[in-house]
Amino acid sequence: MFSYCAEPDTLEGLRWASCYLTTGKHMGLYSSVFTVLLLLAITAPTALLFGFGGATAARSRIPPLRWLGKGYTAIVRGVPDIAFFLFFVIALDQGFEWVRHQVKCPDWPDAIRQGNDFVVCQQAKLPLSSAPEWVHQTYGFFLAVLTFSIVFGAFASNVLFGAMRAVPRAQLETAEAYGMTRRQTFWRILVPQMWVYALPGLSNLWMVLIKATPLLFLLGIEDIVYWARELGGTKNARFTDYPHGDWRMWYFLALLVFYLCFTKVSEVVLNKLMTKLTHGQATAGGEAQRRAGA
Amino acid sequence: MKKLILGTAVLALSAGLALADGDGKTVRMGTEGAYAPWNFVNDAGEIDGFERELGDELCMRAELKCEWVKNDWDSIIPNLVSGNYDTIVAGMSITDERDEVIDFTQPYTPPDPSTYAALDSGLDVEGAVIAAQAATIQAAYIAEKGWTLIEFATPEETVAAVRNGEADAVLADKSFLETVVGQDGLVMLERTESIGGGVGMGLRESDGELRAKFDAAIQSMKDDGSLNKLIAKWEVSSLW
């Protein structure tokens, strides 16, 4: 990185550290921080969408739709996350490839399942084996986002379902008295008012989601935990310019600080959001705000 | 946020399209990247070591285009079988158990005994607590002997367990232990165990054609002595 880094064993103190912390490997660690943040940024709204869909379906007057919504939350919430992650990602990947295989290679003579092997034709591979490595990683990331969204969507669905029922019945009756249709009541009265009831549950979920990001490593994505373990491990002078002992403790300490800071910032933001949502609501919090203002 | 989601969707789609024309197959080589000197991640963040150099040479001889992929040791066979990559080049010893699930090329290093590293050079390993990496021949050996076995996911953790006293000794390939003894009071024990049948490249059982290509490439490296040179350079095992 810096010009004086050519011979690290002659360096001392800060200069050594500045070289050590800017090796290609450490860049892997820094970029994995962005991977985690990106995952959260995409997963949170997607999971919320899944949750909203699930909750709306669970409230539906049409029985099959209602069963779908209820079944989704019941099944996903009941299965351990790790089992779900490991099973789902492999099944999803093979499912995609199976469909592509049926479409692209209808004349394929061999079976897809040969003993233990899962073999599809070259054109059906996802991504193609000739694709550059970043495409493979993006695809893996996409699978991870989808899996996280489905899992956390189920929890969000349950939270939103409860929040929708918590909106005072009097509010909805008033809407009906004004002649609003079911749809209008739902979108104009129920949805705007339910967030204040949903937020405590959702903020809990967000915290759990932040803490769950190291599960990415299980899915073969090189996240910060992977790099912390790899970088902190003992390094022999034969294979590196920066030999050191077992430094994993320090790397994991840095992770701890990172996650603590991140959850602290989240708490502050969520508290502000709560104050904002409470404003003008027919709840104890809203009433307290009104009195303080008056 | 919409843009982000849209962007990812577009990326995923366009990736699918851009790939459709590439017909030339790239062989994806799976390795662990945590087992020096066999395979490890160097300062630049790239896969390096004996198997990196060997694999690149084999691909050149077999006229294949190869790309390296890192994968956890635990799931290295399942991911090969489900087609995430095409070969395992990760210091994997050829055993009957593994041979039932995947196929191996001929070995590229001769069978070498495994050894122990411990803090106390006079340790009697029988009945001691031994650390080994999970799903390795060493772990299977200790389990079979009925001694107390502690398994870890990575080689690094097995050594750390000995250092902090959780285990009395670690059983692993000699070449790997040579990179860790001499630090923090770790010494190599005299006792060796003759387990394993040489290290080979793992492939899917349905991939006979690719296996034949690599087999021939390994044979040609054995014949012209370049394999021995490579083994000597990285000190991974005895010579052929």
pLDDT band at A2 (very low <50, low <70, confident <90, very high): confident
Chain B residues within an 8 Å CB radius of A128:
19-20, 22
pLDDT band at B1 (very low <50, low <70, confident <90, very high): very low
Residue B205 to residue A117, Cβ atoms within 8 A: yes
Query: Which of B13, B76, B82 to probe by mutation at the A interface, max A CB count within 10 Å?
Result: B82
State both tokens at B12.
């995923």
Domains parsed from chain A with CATH numbers: 3-289 (1.10.3720.10)
Which fold does the domain B114-193 belong to in CATH?
A: D-Maltodextrin-Binding Protein; domain 2 (3.40.190)
Residue B4 to residue A229, Cβ atoms within 8 A: no
By 3-state DSSP, what share of chain B in percent is helix, strand and coil, each rounded to 5?
Answer: 40, 25, 40
pLDDT at A55 over 70: yes
Residue carrying the six token digits 């008295």? A177
The pLDDT, as a whole number, for residue A26 is 92
Chain A residues within an 8 Å CB radius of B20:
123, 128
Q: How far is Cα A189 from Cα B72, in angstroms, rounded to an integer? A: 51
Determine the average pLDDT of the residues in A178-185: 94
Determine the average pLDDT of the residues in A239-264: 91
Chain A residues within an 8 Å CB radius of B33:
230
Determine the average pLDDT of the residues in A9-32: 88
The pTM score is 0.80
Residue type, A18: S
ipTM value for the complex: 0.77
pLDDT at B40 over 60: yes
Instruction: Tell me the sheet residues that pair with B23.
Output: none
Q: Does A240 touch chain B (CB under 8 A)?
A: yes
Query: Which of B43, B53, B64, B69 to probe by mutation at the A interface, max A CB count within 10 Å?
Result: B43
Tens-place pLDDT, residues B102-116 = 999 999 999 888 999
Q: Does B183 touch chain A (CB under 8 A)?
A: yes
Distance of CA B239 to the CA centre of its chain: 19
B44 → chain A, closest CA residue: A24
CB burial of residue A82 (10 Å; 0-12, 13-18, 19+): exposed
The pLDDT, as a whole number, for residue B119 is 93
pLDDT at B9 over 70: no
Terminal Cα distance for chain A, rounded: 60
In chain B, domain spans: 26-110+198-234, 114-193
A26 → chain B, closest CA residue: B45
Chain B residues within an 8 Å CB radius of A121:
none
The pLDDT, as a whole number, for residue A246 is 85
Cα angle A282, A165, A48 (rounded to 5 degrees) comes to 100
Q: How far is Cα A194 from Cα A200, in angstroms, rounded to an integer? A: 11
Tens-place pLDDT, residues B214-233 = 999 999 999 999 999 999 99
Q: Does A116 touch chain B (CB under 8 A)?
A: yes
CA neighbor of B119 nearest in space, from B148, B161, B153, B157: B161
Q: What is the mean pLDDT of chain A?
A: 89
The pLDDT, as a whole number, for residue B16 is 43
pLDDT band at A197 (very low <50, low <70, confident <90, very high): very high
State both tokens at B157.
């953790």
In B212-233, which positions are buried (b, 16+ CB within 10 angstroms) versus exposed (e)? ebbbebbeebeeeeebeebbee
Q: Does B42 touch chain A (CB under 8 A)?
A: yes
Q: How far is Cα B151 from Cα B136, in angstroms, rounded to an integer? A: 10
- CATH, domain range B26-110+198-234: 3.40.190.10
pLDDT at A77 over 70: yes
Q: How far is Cα A84 from Cα B147, in angstroms, rounded to an integer? A: 34
Residue B204 to residue A119, Cβ atoms within 8 A: yes
Q: Does A114 touch chain B (CB under 8 A)?
A: yes
Instruction: Decide if B26-110+198-234 and B114-193 have a common fold.
Output: yes
Q: How far is Cα B132 from Cα B173, in angstroms, rounded to an integer? A: 10
Residue B69 to residue A136, Cβ atoms within 8 A: yes
pLDDT band at B24 (very low <50, low <70, confident <90, very high): low
Tens-place pLDDT, residues B53-92 = 999 999 999 999 999 998 889 889 988 988 889 999 999 9
Q: Does B101 touch chain A (CB under 8 A)?
A: yes
B22 → chain A, closest CA residue: A130
* Higher pLDDT among residues A11 and B237, named by residue: B237
Q: Does B25 touch chain A (CB under 8 A)?
A: yes
The pLDDT, as a whole number, for residue A236 is 83
Q: What is the mean pLDDT of chain B?
A: 87
Determine the average pLDDT of the residues in A47-74: 94
State both tokens at B173.
């390939």
Q: Does A113 touch chain B (CB under 8 A)?
A: no
Q: Does A90 touch chain B (CB under 8 A)?
A: yes
Q: Does A256 touch chain B (CB under 8 A)?
A: no
The pLDDT, as a whole number, for residue B13 is 44
Taking the CA of residue A274 and the nearest CA in chain B, the distance in Å comes to: 21
Q: Does A95 touch chain B (CB under 8 A)?
A: no
Q: Does A241 touch chain B (CB under 8 A)?
A: yes
The pLDDT, as a whole number, for residue B19 is 40
Name residues 62-81 of chain A within 8 A of B (Cβ).
none
Q: How far is Cα A117 from Cα A9, in angstroms, rounded to an integer? A: 48
The pLDDT, as a whole number, for residue A1 is 65
Determine the average pLDDT of the residues in A136-160: 92
B6 → chain A, closest CA residue: A42
Of A28, A117, A233, the CB nearest to B45: A28
A111 → chain B, closest CA residue: B206
Q: Does B23 touch chain A (CB under 8 A)?
A: yes
Residue B20 to residue A128, Cβ atoms within 8 A: yes
> What percent of chain A clears pLDDT 90, i.e. is strictly above it?
49
Q: Does B122 touch chain A (CB under 8 A)?
A: no
pLDDT at A130 over 90: no
pLDDT band at B20 (very low <50, low <70, confident <90, very high): very low
Determine the average pLDDT of the residues in A158-181: 94
Least confident stretch, A18-22, A132-136, B100-104: A132-136
Residue B15 to residue A25, Cβ atoms within 8 A: no
Taking the CA of residue A23 and the nearest CA in chain B, the distance in Å comes to: 6
